[in-house]
Amino acid sequence: MELSFALINENNVRGMIKELLEFIVSCDDDFKADAASNIVLAADKYAPNKRWHVDTVLKVLHNILLVILHVHTLSMESYITNYCH
């Protein structure tokens, strides 16, 4: 994963970030925070324009929010299963 971020430059930022955004949806939860942080840093550094930068940061936040909601839902299901029967 670190190599992917090291390879990002102004010429390939759109394609690389697109792939990395797909990666954070499916990767292990242990990698999500680092991947999200690195995507935002790369977007800050290599954004081709302000609109793309804002859109990219919003996509990262959206994906991380989905992860948080999923973990919260699993925690609630576990609580209900263990303590409400």
Tokens standing for residue 73: 């839902």
pLDDT of residue 27: 87
DSSP state of 39: H
Q: What is the pTM of this model?
A: 0.78
Distance separating alpha carbons of residues 30 and 63, to the nearest angstrom? 14
Distance separating alpha carbons of residues 54 and 58, to the nearest angstrom? 6
pLDDT of residue 76: 59
- Domain ranges for the chain, please list them: 2-83
pLDDT tens digit string along 3-60?
999 999 999 999 999 999 999 888 888 888 899 999 999 999 999 999 999 999 999 9
Residue 29: phi and psi, rounded to 5, are -60, -30
pLDDT of residue 30: 84
Distance (Å) of CA 70 to CA 43, 54, 80: 26, 24, 15
